[in-house]
Amino acid sequence: MLKHTAAVFAALLLMAMCHSALACDAFVTVGKTTPSADLQPVGVAGVGCRFEKYDVQLLYVAEAKGEGIVHEPYVLATVARYWQLKRRFFGGKIELHWGLGLKEAQTCDFNHDLNCNRRQPLPFSFHFGVGASWKYARLQLFHDSNNAMDDGPEAKNLGITWLTLTRPFN
């Protein structure tokens, strides 16, 4: 837990320094994952920086529990190219995101080990999203998955989907 707290603190410090040096728009985000077959929804919180056409964010995904299964909390970094469409949604600009997610790997045993991260076991994932952006807020739905890369007799990678409310500081 201390390792994750230190990583989030380092990200906040890095963002504060990069905000003015790299001319990006900083943001904070909070959200909730969708429930999976075996796990309850958990919270997601993060910080990030929006460049001209890219979003870079560092997220903390809370511990997930369900029916005897525990997924430890982890930090997920995402880099995504985003597009703003001309279409509007309740006055907000519609956005599409596509990129990569990176996290610490958590390998699972092949002996029916259920107590490991089956949502995102590999260190990298494909990152997709859709949302709407207003001047003071963004509402976004994301999905990270590496299902196509998870093979073997116990391949059960579910991916992770979450809905966030983001507050930009521009």
Residue ranges per domain, the chain?
A: 2-169
- pLDDT score at 28: 93
pTM: 0.78
User: How many alpha carbons fall within 13 Å on the CB side of residue 31?
Assistant: 25
- pLDDT score at 49: 92
Q: How many residues does the chain have?
A: 170
- pLDDT score at 148: 62
- pLDDT score at 1: 47
Tokens coding 110: 């092949």
CATH for 2-169 is: 2.40.160.20
Tokens coding 163: 């809905």
pLDDT, tens digit only, all 170 positions of the chain: 445 555 555 555 555 555 555 678 899 999 998 876 667 788 999 999 999 899 999 999 887 777 766 777 888 899 999 999 988 888 899 999 999 999 887 655 555 555 566 667 777 888 999 999 998 999 999 998 876 665 555 555 667 889 999 999 87
